[in-house]
Amino acid sequence: MRKDEIPKETVNRLPIYLRCLNRILLRGHSTISSDELANLVSMSPAKIRKDLSYFGKFGTRGVGYEVKPLIERIRGILNLDKNWKLALVGVGNVGSALLSHPGFHRGCFKIELVFDDDPELIGKEISGKKVHDSSEISNLVEKGLVQIGIIAVPNEKARDVAERLVRGGVTGIINFAPVSIDLHDDVKIYQIDISTELSRLTYHMVP
């Protein structure tokens, strides 16, 4: 099955399974039943089996899933067994929080380049990373073979930054600015926005 034929919702759930399986491994368990896994991620066992079935055969009836091989397999599917170079644009509050996020100091994601357009910040080091001038984005991103851009700038600058990243060869973007950016189809953009999550939450709540 081709990657783009697999339901988006299935792909979106894989990182959640992965986080859960990593926790189980840390607790010292080597197998988990599909009921237990379902319980931990608050989903039906049937749905988990259906999700995983897109990627091959997993689990043994009566035994469940072997945790470590399943983790490896999901990491492979999500391309987390590769190394990814990131460029962070904007070192305000959000950017600074990302620079100290433990996820970027181990594992497959490495923040390679940091940019800002504030003359007070350019040339300084933040969390051990030199801040480059945003006017250099395309040039340095291309030289550094960076694949992923993180946009953490104010709304009105987000589109321009996205275009510079793409000109430098970036094909995936995480956008923290609460504004939608349309780019051409071969660049994937994911937006992280508190308003979106809050409205998903209030749907379920009794006012």
Closer to a second copy by Cβ: residue 98 or 137: 98
* Residue 107: closest CA among 126, 130, 79: 79
Closer to a second copy by Cβ: residue 12 or 139: 12
> Cβ of residue 105: shortest distance to a second copy, in angstroms?
12
> Cβ of residue 69: shortest distance to a second copy, in angstroms?
18
Closer to a second copy by Cβ: residue 8 or 57: 8
Closer to a second copy by Cβ: residue 105 or 135: 105
* Residue 149: closest CA among 178, 126, 177: 177
Closer to a second copy by Cβ: residue 7 or 63: 7
* Residue 144: closest CA among 174, 111, 96, 118: 111
- How far is Cα 22 from Cα 170, in angstroms, rounded to an integer? 29
Q: How far is CA 174 from CA 79, 98, 205, in A?
A: 16, 12, 28
> Cβ of residue 48: shortest distance to a second copy, in angstroms?
14
Residue tagged 């930054």 (tokens): 161
Q: Note the residues at the interface with a second copy (CB under 8 A).
A: 3, 8-9, 11-12, 14-16, 18-20, 23, 40, 77-80, 82, 84, 92-94, 96-98, 100-103, 107, 109, 147-148, 150, 171-174, 178, 180, 182, 188, 190, 192, 194-207
> Cβ of residue 86: shortest distance to a second copy, in angstroms?
8
Closer to a second copy by Cβ: residue 43 or 140: 43
> Cβ of residue 103: shortest distance to a second copy, in angstroms?
5
> Cβ of residue 183: shortest distance to a second copy, in angstroms?
11
